Amino acid sequence: MITLYHSPQTRSSSIVWLLEELQVPYETKQVSFRKADGTGERDPSNPHPHGKVPALTDGSETVFESGAIALYLTDKYRTVKLGPGPNDAKRGEYLSWLFYRPGVMEPAFMERRFNIPHVHGAMGWAKTEEVEEVVNAHLAKNKYFLGDEFSALDIMVGGGLYYMMLFKMTPETGVLKEYAARITERSAFKRSMER
Q: What is the pLDDT of residues 31-85, one digit of tens each?
A: 998 887 888 888 999 999 999 999 999 999 999 999 999 999 999 999 999 999 9
Fold of 2-82: Glutaredoxin (3.40.30)
Q: Pseudo-torsion of CA 164, 168, 169, 174, nearest 10°?
A: 70
Q: pLDDT for 129-167, tens place per residue? A: 999 999 999 999 999 999 999 999 999 999 999 998 988
Helix, strand or coil for residue 30? strand
> Which sign does the torsion angle of CA 129, 139, 102, 86 carry?
negative
Structure confidence at residue 9 as a pLDDT band (50, 70, 90): confident
Could you tell me which CATH class the domain 91-186 is placed in? mainly alpha
Give the pLDDT score at 168.
86
Averaged pLDDT for residues 109-132: 94
Q: Is 23 left (phi over 0), alpha (psi -120 to 50) or beta?
A: left
Are 2 and 57 within 8 A, CB to CB?
yes
* C-alpha–C-alpha distance, residues 16 and 192, integer Å: 6
Domains 2-82 and 91-186 share a fold: no
Give the pLDDT score at 195.
82
Given a cut of 90, whether residue 4 has pLDDT beyond it is yes
Domain coordinates of the chain in residue numbers? 2-82, 91-186
* C-alpha–C-alpha distance, residues 165 and 147, integer Å: 22
Reported as type and span, the H/E element at residue 29 is strand 26-30
Are 93 and 45 within 8 A, CB to CB?
no
The full length of the chain comes to 195
